[in-house]
Every structure is written in C-alpha cells, then in structure tokens.
C-alpha cells in the first residue's frame, strides 16, 4: 500500500512539474491506450489513469493560475499605490496652479479699501497743496501791498 501511495505522489509531482501541453499529451496517450485494449479490466484501468492524468492537468493549470493571480495581485497593489500618488500629485499641481492664477490676477483686481484710502489721501494732499498755494498768494499779495505803501511815490509830499 505504501508503495502505491508513494508512486501516486511521485506521479503527481512529475505531472505538476510538467507544462500543461506535456500533461495534455499524456492524457491523449492514455486515451489511445484505452481505445487499443479490448480487455474490460484493462480499459477500466486505462480510464482511471486517463482521469488521473486529466486531474494532473487541472492541477498544473491551477498552480499556474495561482502564480499568475499572485503576480496580478502584486501588480494591482502597485497600480493602486501609483494611482494614489498620482491623485496626490494632481491635487498639489492644482493648488499651485490656483495660486499662480491668483497671483497673476492680483494687479487686475479692484482694491476697495486701498483705493478709498488712496483717494482720500490724494484729496487731502490736493487740498493741502491748494491751501499752501492760497496762503503763499495771500502772503505775497500782502507783502506787495505793504511794499507799495512804503514806496515814496505813494507818500504825500510834505509842505515846507
């Protein structure tokens, strides 16, 4: 009994180490053996071996599918990480783009508080300039009238 089990495990190990094409070729070989035999017991034995070969083929395909699944899972995790990094980088770029747009538009935006203060300051400066011009005109007129009052032509000659 132990030898059959060992023989079955060895056969399974050999089948799993083969490519699916080799195991499929073994299945076809076993099916030809079934067709060639006329003995009822030999056909049952060959059918059993054919089913074992087919099970081996399914095992090989399963092992390969698991390996591909693990590889695909690892690649999927990597793609997810890269997608998250891309989303973060896109958000950062959008933020910097927004900042650049705002900075570019600053000269064109109205400045309500600063404009009002600037207009008030300009008005005060203009008013003080006008007051200064008026004062200088008034003082120059006063100086001119005082100098005319003291000139000899405006004085009355004294009688001797």
Give pLDDT tens digits for 37-77: 677 677 777 777 778 778 888 888 888 888 888 888 889 99
E strand or H helix at 81, and its extent?
helix 40-105
At residue 58, the pLDDT reads: 85
pTM of the model: 0.40
Domain total in the chain: 1
- Of 121, 94, 92, 11, nearest to 55 by C-alpha is 11
d(CA 23, CA 16): 9
Work out the pLDDT band at 89, boundaries 50, 70, 90.
very high
Residue 120 inside a domain? The answer is: no
Q: Domain range holding 93? A: 2-104
Residue 64 inside a domain? The answer is: yes
d(CA 71, CA 133): 90
Residue 61 inside a domain? The answer is: yes
Residue 130 inside a domain? The answer is: no
Residue 83 inside a domain? The answer is: yes
Residue 68 inside a domain? The answer is: yes
Residue 74 inside a domain? The answer is: yes
Residue 115 inside a domain? The answer is: no
d(CA 80, CA 32): 50
């Amino acid at each position: 009994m132990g030898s059959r089990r060992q023989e079955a495990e060895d056969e399974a190990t050999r089948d799993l180490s083969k490519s699916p094409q080799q195991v499929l070729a073994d299945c076809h070989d076993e099916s030809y053996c079934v067709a060639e035999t006329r003995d009822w017991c030999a056909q049952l034995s060959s059918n059993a071996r054919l089913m074992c070969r087919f099970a081996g083929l399914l095992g090989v395909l399963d092992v390969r599918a698991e390996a591909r699944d693990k590889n695909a899972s690892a690649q999927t995790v990597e793609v997810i990480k890269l997608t998250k990094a891309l989303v973060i980088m896109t958000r950062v770029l959008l933020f910097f783009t927004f900042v650049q747009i705002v900075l570019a538009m600053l000269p064109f935006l109205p400045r309500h508080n600063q404009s009002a203060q600037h207009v008030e300051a300009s008005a005060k400066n203009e008013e003080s300039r006008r007051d200064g011009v008026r004062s200088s005109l008034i003082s120059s007129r006063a100086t001119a009238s005082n100098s005319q009052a003291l000139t000899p032509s405006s004085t009355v000659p004294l009688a001797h």
